[in-house]
Amino acid sequence: AIRSASSLKEPYESSEDDESNNNIDWNNLGFGLMQTDYMYTMKCGEDEQFKQGQLTRYGNIELSPSAGVLNYGQGLFEGTKAYRREDGRLFLFRPQQNAIRMQIGAERMCMPSPSIEQFVDAVKQIALANKRWIPPSGKGSLYIRPLLMGSGSILGLAPASEYTFLVYASPVGNYYKGGTASLNLYVEDEYHRTMLGGAGGVKSITNYAPVLKAMCKAKDRGFSDVLYLDSVNKRNVEEASCSNVFILKGNVLSTPVTNGNILEGITRKSIMDIACDFGYRVEERCIPIEELIDADEVFCTGTAVGVAPVGTISYRGKRTEYKMSTELACLKLYSRLVEIQKGTIEDKRGWIVQV
């Protein structure tokens, strides 16, 4: 049975009981929040050094109404996953990459950031403390969400004087409601995700709320998600609401070049490496929307999304359908990624970190 929060030990102490989560329907996990037992918090003051992080029971946090993050959006988030293997061992996928991305984002948003070691240690602690919430092998993963925010009070526009690094987690399955069904994307040419010189290249919280309007409108019309175009030419493909985009034409796999607008996705980078192993030519460049319409395959990648084939795109009233089959190249690339994550194929690049 799920223990009530009040029966949990504090500070964190592992026990036999940590394994029990018998009444969860692991076969029907979506991407909704399921509260887990513990979160991790680490603070940093004027000296810009994070220290003494700790696990506490998951719950609401106290924040000043004048906190930098609430007033001026001084915040970043990350996403990474912990997996359980058949033999019960727990693994993370390239968590150092998330740590580095948070450091780059923190620099952009005028925030101090945890060291790579502090970040990875916190992610490991969260995976272990919430071990009973990591789905059985093949049923999903524990999505781990690190946050970095200006928690100090500020009235005039300026960087906050105190920062909080917080990590929580939730078991997840497929991101989209349709499970592994192909995506129907709406190409948006009124609203843009980001603009040159903005913060689109980092995981700033300020990149996400502005897409909600276009995304909700498209979802109401039955689309799975929205594909955004660049704001200057309204022509080059950038990203979907929360994933990177790839196109395949013949033997060439292309994805938009990270010119400061595009998030450097860790799944994006991994799929590019795997595609090279498979003998594809991989290009990062500007991709005009016309090329998508002409592509053999289009797919999205992300930590939350995984690798999701696109079935249709709708652009200026015209719908393009892509051939779907179990033989899609993107599914082969994804299978290889999953095999590396599951440990059924050699991890020759050192992507896997055991917890």
Which residues here bind ligand COI, judged by CB under 6 A? 79, 242, 302-304
Cβ nearer to ligand COI, comparing 12 with 40: 40
Q: Whole-number minimum distance, CB 144 to ligand COI, in Å?
A: 9
- Strand, helix or coil at 209? helix
Contact in structure between 135 and 21 (CB atoms under 8 Å): no
The active-site residue out of 51, 81, 203, 217 is 203
Cβ nearer to ligand COI, comparing 242 with 274: 242
Dihedral of alpha carbons 109, 284, 301, 87, sign: negative
Cβ nearer to ligand COI, comparing 84 with 145: 145
Cβ nearer to ligand COI, comparing 199 with 242: 242
Q: CA-to-CA distance for 197 and 210, rounded, in angstroms?
A: 16
Cβ nearer to ligand COI, comparing 78 with 162: 78
Q: Whole-number minimum distance, CB 343 to ligand COI, in Å?
A: 22
Give the chain's end-to-end CA distance (angstroms, integer): 25
Q: Whole-number minimum distance, CB 239 to ligand COI, in Å?
A: 11
Nearest Cα to Cα of residue 270 among 310, 302, 304, 238: 302
Nearest Cα to Cα of residue 198 among 70, 109, 95, 285: 109
Q: Where are the extended beta strands (E) located within 177-317?
A: 183-188, 225-229, 237-240, 244-249, 252-256, 281-285, 297-302, 306-315
Q: Is 203 a catalytic residue?
A: yes
Q: Whole-number minimum distance, CB 243 to ligand COI, in Å?
A: 7
Nearest Cα to Cα of residue 330 among 232, 246, 262, 256: 246
Neighbour tally for 36: CB within 10 Å: 22
DSSP letter (8 states) at residue 288: B
Which residue has the closest beta carbon to ligand COI? 79
Q: Whole-number minimum distance, CB 51 to ligand COI, in Å?
A: 27
Q: Whole-number minimum distance, CB 289 to ligand COI, in Å?
A: 23
Q: Which residues contact 153 (CB under 8 A, 6 or more apart)?
A: 64, 66, 67, 68, 160, 161
Cβ nearer to ligand COI, comparing 95 with 152: 95
Point out the residues that are catalytic: 203
